[in-house]
A = this chain, B = another copy of it.
Amino acid sequence: MDLSVKIRDKIMQNPVGTASGTFGFGEEYGELIDLSQLGSIYTKAVTVLPREGNPLPRLTETPYGMINSIGLANTGVKGFLENKVPFLNTIKNCAVIVNVAGSTEDEYTKVIDMIDSVDSVWGYEINISCPNVKCGGLAFGTDPVQVERLTKEIRKRTNKPVIMKLTPNVTDITTVATACEIGGADAVSCINTVMGMKIDINKKKPAIYQKTGGLSGPAIKPVGVAAVYRVSKKISIPVIGLGGIMNWEDAVEYFLAGASAIQIGTANFIDPNTPIDVLDGIKRYMTNNKLEKISDFHSFIE
């Protein structure tokens, strides 16, 4: 059985990754699971300058899901280099993918310029769901023209794999995916969180400070599967699927929908062992169904 996933010219040992923002920089969960068994770790978003993040409350629970508005809280690229890279250097086998965020094109490319020489950085996931200052507050990821340009700019700076992370909060996610492909991305990942809101009816106030935030967890799985299906039919670079994956059955659903790899997000909070269990389950399913490699999943659904 071949579990490897090729993106650009690089190989991930297996298709199971941990989603940005739900796994820190690996350290915390390193006490609980063997990180070297993971295919990949997507870091918390890194921005040029440190960001303190949004005021609290930042989290709330919803019917079989949760909403967050952490707000890209991070120590900035310098803090990343000083405080996080030493630990990342110690992780064996697993691809460390840095999630990059910004409010202008410049902010994205600066991060990449500053860390591209770090060996333990395997590649980049570009979070284009951030509000874009030049785009009237709408996310970068909602405008195919801007997405294509941003992808091209990033492509110029690095030879490492570039994965564009798509937001589901658009009219047609496939046009944005196409823009990524044209811009020179090596893969896309989808989906980021779905815009949602909760109100505390006792306090008569929004449950989180930012009022609206990002919905994740099992509730959004069907949205993610639909996105992966539609996008993977449209473009020919690999699609990395995520959104509500709680167990191996969910992961298999994403592979059948067209994903070449997957990420575990919210499920890490519920059961830190999820990525390992998912990997085991995928192997069993592949054995039982005589599938040799991940791309074998892609022949079943037109």
A8 at the interface (CB under 8 A from B): no
A276 at the interface (CB under 8 A from B): no
Residue in A205, A215, A225, A249 whose Cβ sees the most chain B Cβ within 10 Å: A225
Question: Which residue from B142, B215, B218, B246 sits with its C-beta under 8 Å from A223?
Answer: B215
Given contacts A64-B63, A212-B230, A230-B212, contact A194 B218 (CB under 8 A): no
Complexed CA–CA distance, A118 and B229 (Å): 44
Shortest Cβ distance from residue A176 to the other chain B in the assembled complex, whole angstroms: 10
Shortest Cβ distance from residue A25 to the other chain B in the assembled complex, whole angstroms: 28
Inter-chain contact A62/B142, CB cutoff 8 Å: no
| Residues on the B chain within 8 Å of A204, using CB | 256, 300-301
Shortest Cβ distance from residue A197 to the other chain B in the assembled complex, whole angstroms: 4
Given contacts A64-B219, A204-B256, A218-B63, contact A171 B142 (CB under 8 A): yes
Given contacts A64-B219, A223-B195, A249-B201, contact A229 B211 (CB under 8 A): yes
Complexed CA–CA distance, A67 and B301 (Å): 18
Complexed CA–CA distance, A142 and B171 (Å): 7
A65 at the interface (CB under 8 A from B): yes
Complexed CA–CA distance, A97 and B199 (Å): 29
Beyond A64-B218, A199-B253, 13 extra complex contacts between A and B, CB < 8 Å: A65-B219, A138-B172, A194-B223, A195-B226, A197-B257, A199-B256, A201-B249, A205-B300, A206-B301, A211-B229, A212-B230, A219-B219, A219-B222
